[in-house]
Amino acid sequence: MLILPAPRAVILCLGLQLLFWLCLAPQVEAQAVVPGLAGDHALSEAQVGELLIVELRCAACHEGISASAATVPPAPRLDEASWRISPEYLKAFILDPAGSHPGAKMPDVLARFDPRVREDAAAAIPAYLSVLAKQQGAGPGSVFEREPVDAARVARGRKLFHAVGCIACHALSGNSPSVNAAGELPDSAGAAVGLGHVASKYSLASLSDFLFQPLRVRPAGRMPDMGLSRVEAEDVANYLLAEVSMTEDSDPVDLELAELGGALLQKLSCVSCHDLQGLSAPAPVTKGRNLDPTGGCLSEDSKKTPRYQMSAAQRAALRAALVAEPEEVSDAARIDQTLTSFNCIACHVRGEHGGVSLELAPYFGTSEPELGDAARIPPPLTLAGAKLNLEWMQRVLFDGEKVRPFMDTRMPQFGEANLAHLPALFESVDHLDPLVPLGFDGDEERRAARDGARKLLGTTGLACVACHNFNGKETVGFKGIDLVTSHERLKFSWFKRFVVDPQEYRPGVVMPESWSGGIAAHTEILGGDTDKQISAIWDYLSLGRSARDPQGLSSVSQELVVGDRTRTYRGRSQIAGFRGIAVGYPGGLSYAFDANNGTLSGIWRGRFVSARWDGQGAGGFNPSSRPIRLAQDLSFYKLKGPDDPWPLKPVMDEENPVNPDPQYPRNRGYRFRGYHLDQARTPTFMYSFGKLDVTDKCEPILEGERPVLRRSLSITASDPETIWFRALTGEVQALGPRAFKTGELELRLERAGEHRLPFGETVLRSFGEEDPQLELLIQLIIPRGTSKWRIDYELLR
Amino acid sequence: MNCFVEGCGLALALSFCLVPANAEDLGDTWGTAKREREYYRIVQLAIPEGLVIEAGAFHRLPDNRMAIGTRRGDIYIVDGVDGEKPEPVFELFATGLDEIFGLEYKDGSFYVTQSCELTRITDTDGDGEADRFDTLSAEWGYENYHEYAFGSKFDEQGNIHIALGLSQSYNSRALFRGWALTVTPEGKTVPIASGMRSPAGIGPNEHGALFYMESQGPWNSACSLKAVSPGSFHGHPVSLNWYEFAPELGPAPVQPKSGSRILIEKDRVPELVPYAVIFPYIRMGRSISGFTVDRSGGRFGPFEGQMFLGDFSLSVVLRATTEKVNGVWQGACYPFREGLSTGILNIQFTPEGRLLTGGTNRGWPVRGIKPFALERLEWTGKMPFEIKRLSVTPTGFHVDFTKAVDVTTASDPGSYVLGTFTHIYHAGYGGPEVDQTRPVVESVTLSEDGLRATLVLDKLTLGHVHEFDLGAVRARDGEALLHRHAFYTLNAIPEAR
């Protein structure tokens, strides 16, 4: 039972559109739509007939009918039909495929029966499928359910539909807001796979699921995977279902009816095409090609066979194929047939045929319009097998590999099972006399070749990188195909010919002739020898990541930016040693902590840090603004007395590169214990000195005239202990008993809340022999329990 | 990881480090990718725009999500790696760490091996982001360029083992560089083995014994798998200077002599562990990295219980098997799958028994052209015809196949072309294959099921890699081997029973 709750205006609109098509649209002969056949294909009439034998799955019943011995494309899976397809639609479609979906390839299998039988059959088959789906627990839901669409998603889906390539096979929606009722433009009606039936057939969930993974339900790949993400598939589904919303009741499943349905699926030979678990296909009705070319399925009103939607031309083509002497199908013809079956020719030129039609061309977009049509129109397949490595063709066809991120149209995935033969066919048919790159022997010659190639590629040479990315890095100009992919994709024989004469091998491409007529423009590089230059470039591109970047690439910023929370970043650094930690606060104050030695080793204001992640870079950091450098030696130590020297970190140099005190400072009692983050992601460092546990947290005070880093320290002791804290080094002056300064900062020791300051003596003494400096040492008399205090570091610059 | 840039100090490591113009060539591919794909598909796992995921370590979480630790110091938790058409969802769990090459998880915490330390990382407030980072061990020197640290998973006792690369890849200037350390469940750090050069993976072999992956370079003419045990010495003597800091291991082993052979030196240096599986250079990888064992229960094909290894330079995945003979580990390696998109730093099986691979291609020569990638290898369900396993007998080898062999070709001794070679054990960087021999296959016996050929050779040569070319052997259905080569490293010959 169909209920139409759609607004009256919509219904009126749909009605008017239908009326329009009924009255005004040219009368299009009913036929099974194979979109490639309406395009600019290379097939003769008999070859069209052969293709129809495959596309209409004739060999499913007529064994040996196909001259090319092509396998029968697998028909859509029906085991999930009961949740994927509206029960009303399913019934209507079984009763009248052509009426429900003009252009459908499925024949009317009930045409020969009287209306009562037809009605029963059309009810019984869905009942069977419904029971089957329940048994298998198939699909996200076992019941077909409609949901309302979302207007924002409709708009996104509409954009995707027109951009990614759906329009190549499906009628274009033109300026009409809907394709549902009027899926076809007058001049392309019959050529395209209409979508007028989609709104009544699918729910949002089932259409989204189908568009996300079409090959799961229709393994034949004629509806390819367009590389839509799940979200994109939902968007397109919203668009395609935008104008119709319906609810319907499904009848309770009648088990007896279901049983009848199973029997009918076998009796009507449905299972010859549709694979259904537990139902075996009947034996083939005929063998060989000696069929009556006017009777059976080829007659328009057969009383014995299923009835196909076929135009007179299609019938003629089939007859032509059947009467033709069977002959070996050439590899070239197999390519033509494949490219037509899968409608590759809607987007790709091959030789004299195929290519994007004038009407559709405006819908092929790009993010790099300056690179011309080559950036928006899919590449020609002329000489594809001579151009591309077999493995690369496989990766593009079957693994979704792509090198043209700027192109809006997506290369569809048709399924490896369906096109596994194609790369080898291209390779066997397409031929260019082989060219071999020159070799470069010996270190000197090789170095010269690589230097030459680098110059040629860069902006002071041929400036290839003005329009091509390189090694994953963007150029400052146009972002064309990454040159480093060349070696993996291309054959040298094609590459060399192409760069010498781009227009011959890629008509219309925006690519200069750098060796016009085979003569090198840059005579100063590699002696101006064309062969040497092109071979050197080829060799250079084979180096991949280990090739140095040519001049002219933009450098990637590896600046770490602090957002609205504190950022903590670990890595080697000259300001904090190998176990360095940088902490940056929102507002632009940062400090470095040397976790190896337990020392606050630098403070700066301004930008945070840059990290080294290129080359072998292990992610070491450098402050992005000039830091105030503090000592990197251990901060806490139990001096034996005021004359005991502070244990300095070991120094390695070229003459003594091995660490002379390799356990420093762990052998002085220090252990780093880690850190924890608060809600603002500000770290509190934890470390221990002997039996004392220290926590150490800094926070920025940015209100005053000069920024202050406020450091809160706490020490927990199980037994009273006296140790020393080295608070500051350099040109230290005392401003008071608890305040000190250097040229760059002022340091103040403060109470933390009610805690008593644990300070004993303060010693300002010199250290170091060659370049004596002062060090400020503070004696800490730590009682049992937790002692806390604060240090403010006020930045003077 | 293999380094050819010598002697970069901290300053240089922090500055811009250019790759020399005479960068190395990567050699030929195996040429098997187009056939391999029939059996093992490579599926790209799309990384959302804006994220850089240079995977260095993987871990499968109890809830079947995968965790990824990266060279850039992030930990992502990823849902949906096993989807039929995968659309993985990445959640950033922790950031700002220092090159992650070890990842494990237990009781709500990650155990993360970074260059600087082993850290337990926890989300204590349950908001999905880590907020507590407890340092479990930083008991090693970290002061020079190229001092990478690779961490294992927990072993049965709950230990994590950490393999430490040399300083600048040639020296041992900071404590325990070139050593393996064990961090016990109680948090104690114990040095266990020395003599490593540039380890790139550490963990159990298929029998649960601790192994690490060594890279080609000084004292190592090829990459190899080596068995690690308390007191073992792995051949590079520059790290012998730290024995005074590991008194429990006793005095340092004596210095091996450069220019010798590994088994000759083993007689002089009892702690020296011979390479268990040598991966002939270039032919079988150039910079082999992380490894794992197939415990997928057959969902990954016929190699259940075998080791899989990634290679950084050649962007391939390899396979290995080991066996212990007369108390010494040895075994074989086999090509598996080429054509990955980036340099592989680590691999790990997913909950559905697919092999997750990842890495980066910066810094060293790499065949894969993507700066970083996550890819899933999955078995198509079609049985490849492969050399499943080589194992040694007192008089030759068992060759196990994945499919029954054709009697005519497989019972012909001429179908088994064998050669052997060894390497010079020396301080030089890499080295040639030397001392070649040509063993004669005297007889072949096929098992009734056609899955095993037993070869009797005129001679087995200790200390040599025995290389097999079985290009002439056919399966019963006439199929040629997907990979015709395999390489067995022979350190010991079992006694005849």
Please report the DSSP string for B137-196 in residue order: E--S---STT--EEE----TTS-EEEEEPPBTTTB--STTTT-EEEE-TTS-EEEEEE--
- The answer to whether B256 touches B312, Cβ cutoff 8 Å, is no
B432-463 confidence digits (pLDDT tens): 999 999 999 999 999 999 999 999 999 999 99
Q: How far apart are CA A758 and CA B232, in angstroms?
A: 50
Q: For residue A464, what pLDDT is reported?
A: 92
**Co-location of A189 and A102 in the same domain:** no
Q: What is the largest CA-CA distance in chain A?
A: 116
Residue A471 lies in a domain: yes
Is the Cβ of B74 closer than 8 Å to some Cβ of chain A? no
Q: Please indicate whether residue A21 or residue B260 has the higher confidence score (pLDDT).
A: B260
Residue A554 lies in a domain: no
Secondary structure of chain B: what % helix, strand, coil (to 5)? 5, 40, 50
**Co-location of A240 and A260 in the same domain:** no
CATH number of domain containing A600? 2.70.98
Q: CA separation (Å) from B344 to A296, A612, B312, B356, B436?
A: 60, 20, 4, 10, 31
Q: For residue A287, what pLDDT is reported?
A: 77
- The answer to whether A418 touches A514, Cβ cutoff 8 Å, is no
Ranked by mean pLDDT, the top range of A256-260, A482-486, B237-241 is: B237-241
Residues in B closer than 8 angstroms to A472, CB to CB, are 369-371
Q: For residue A248, what pLDDT is reported?
A: 61
pLDDT higher than threshold 90 for residue A599: yes
**Co-location of A627 and A751 in the same domain:** yes
Q: For residue A566, what pLDDT is reported?
A: 98
Minimum-distance CB partner of B339 among A230, A391, A615: A391
Residue A482's closest chain B neighbor by CA? B369
Ranked by mean pLDDT, the top range of A476-485, A781-790, B15-24 is: A781-790
Is the Cβ of B87 closer than 8 Å to some Cβ of chain A? yes
Instruction: Kindly determine whether residue A619 and residue B142, on different chains, have CB atoms separated by under 8 Å.
Output: no
Is the Cβ of A330 closer than 8 Å to some Cβ of chain B? no
A86-97 confidence digits (pLDDT tens): 989 999 999 999
Minimum-distance CB partner of A394 among B26, B37, B114: B37
Residue B242's closest chain A neighbor by CA? A662
**Co-location of A584 and A723 in the same domain:** yes
Q: For residue A553, what pLDDT is reported?
A: 79
Instruction: Kindly determine whether residue A663 and residue B361, on different chains, have CB atoms separated by under 8 Å.
Output: no
Is the Cβ of A227 closer than 8 Å to some Cβ of chain B? no
pLDDT band at B1; cut points 50, 70, 90: very low
Is the Cβ of B24 closer than 8 Å to some Cβ of chain A? yes
Is the Cβ of B245 closer than 8 Å to some Cβ of chain A? yes
pTM above 0.95, yes or no: no
Is the Cβ of B3 closer than 8 Å to some Cβ of chain A? yes
Angle CA B307–B310–B311, to nearest 5: 135
pLDDT higher than threshold 90 for residue A445: yes
Residues in B closer than 8 angstroms to A615, CB to CB, are 16-19, 362-363
Residues 326-345 of B with CB under 8 A from A: 339
> Position A170: which residue type?
H
C-alpha radius of gyration, chain B, whole number = 22
B62-112 confidence digits (pLDDT tens): 999 999 999 999 999 999 999 999 999 999 999 999 999 999 999 999 999
pLDDT higher than threshold 70 for residue A568: yes
SS3 assignment for A513-556: CCCHHHCCCCCCCHHHCHHHHHHHHHHHHCCHHHCCCCCCECCC
**Co-location of A223 and A345 in the same domain:** no
Q: Please indicate whether residue A329 or residue A353 has the higher confidence score (pLDDT).
A: A353
pLDDT higher than threshold 80 for residue A544: no
Chain A closest CA to B19's CA: distance in Å?
Answer: 6
Taken in order of first residue, the domains within chain B and their CATH numbers are: 35-379 (2.120.10.30), 387-490 (2.60.40.1220)
Q: For residue A138, what pLDDT is reported?
A: 55
Is the Cβ of A548 closer than 8 Å to some Cβ of chain B? yes
Residue A498 lies in a domain: yes
DSSP code of residue A766: E
Q: How many domains does chain A have?
A: 5
**Co-location of A216 and A338 in the same domain:** no
pLDDT higher than threshold 70 for residue A180: no
Q: For residue A181, what pLDDT is reported?
A: 37
Is the Cβ of B117 closer than 8 Å to some Cβ of chain A? yes
Tally C-beta pairs within 8 A across A and B.
Answer: 195
Q: For residue B420, what pLDDT is reported?
A: 98
Residue B365's closest chain A neighbor by CA? A546
Report percent pLDDT > 70 for chain A. 91
A394-442 confidence digits (pLDDT tens): 999 999 999 999 999 999 999 999 999 999 999 999 999 999 999 999 8
pLDDT band at B288; cut points 50, 70, 90: very high
Chain A closest CA to B85's CA: distance in Å?
Answer: 7
Report percent pLDDT > 90 for chain A. 68
Q: Please indicate whether residue B265 or residue A298 has the higher confidence score (pLDDT).
A: B265
**Co-location of A475 and A610 in the same domain:** no
Instruction: Kindly determine whether residue B172 and residue A658, on different chains, have CB atoms separated by under 8 Å.
Output: yes
Q: How far apart are CA A582 and CA A625, in angstroms?
A: 13
Q: For residue A617, what pLDDT is reported?
A: 84
- Please give the mean pLDDT across all residues of chain B: 94
**Co-location of A318 and A347 in the same domain:** no
Instruction: Kindly determine whether residue A399 and residue B42, on different chains, have CB atoms separated by under 8 Å.
Output: yes
- The answer to whether A109 touches A269, Cβ cutoff 8 Å, is yes
Chain B closest CA to A784's CA: distance in Å?
Answer: 25
Instruction: Kindly determine whether residue A546 and residue B366, on different chains, have CB atoms separated by under 8 Å.
Output: yes
Residues in A closer than 8 angstroms to B25, CB to CB, are 542-543
**Co-location of A706 and A611 in the same domain:** yes
Q: For residue A171, what pLDDT is reported?
A: 67
Residue A500 lies in a domain: yes
Is the Cβ of B165 closer than 8 Å to some Cβ of chain A? no
CATH number of domain containing A506? 1.10.760.10
Sheet holding B372-379, edge to edge: B40-44, B372-379, B355-360, B344-349
Instruction: Kindly determine whether residue A547 and residue B362, on different chains, have CB atoms separated by under 8 Å.
Output: no
Q: For residue A324, what pLDDT is reported?
A: 84
Residue A24 lies in a domain: no
Chain B closest CA to A673's CA: distance in Å?
Answer: 5
Chain B closest CA to A342's CA: distance in Å?
Answer: 21
**Co-location of A763 and A639 in the same domain:** yes
Number of other residues whose CB lies within 10 A of the CB of residue B48: 10
pLDDT higher than threshold 90 for residue A67: no
Chain B closest CA to A406's CA: distance in Å?
Answer: 14
Q: Which two tokens stand for residue B390?
A: 């080589």
pLDDT band at A477; cut points 50, 70, 90: confident
Domain boundary among A546, A578, A597: A546
Least confident of A3-7, A221-225, A599-603, B266-270: A3-7
Residue A6 lies in a domain: no
**Co-location of A219 and A236 in the same domain:** yes
Residue A437 lies in a domain: no
Q: For residue A29, what pLDDT is reported?
A: 65
* Domain extent for A76: 31-141+250-323
Residues 71-100 of A with CB under 8 A from B: none
Residue A489's closest chain B neighbor by CA? B369
Residue A624 lies in a domain: yes
Domain boundary among A323, A352, A379: A323
Is the Cβ of B72 closer than 8 Å to some Cβ of chain A? yes
Instruction: Kindly determine whether residue B98 and residue A618, on different chains, have CB atoms separated by under 8 Å.
Output: yes
**Co-location of A395 and A483 in the same domain:** no
Query: What average pLDDT does the segment A303-313 reach?
Result: 88
Ranked by mean pLDDT, the top range of A110-119, A130-139, A637-646, B55-64 is: B55-64
Domain boundary among A323, A354, A376: A323
Q: How far apart are CA A144 and CA A622, in angstroms?
A: 59
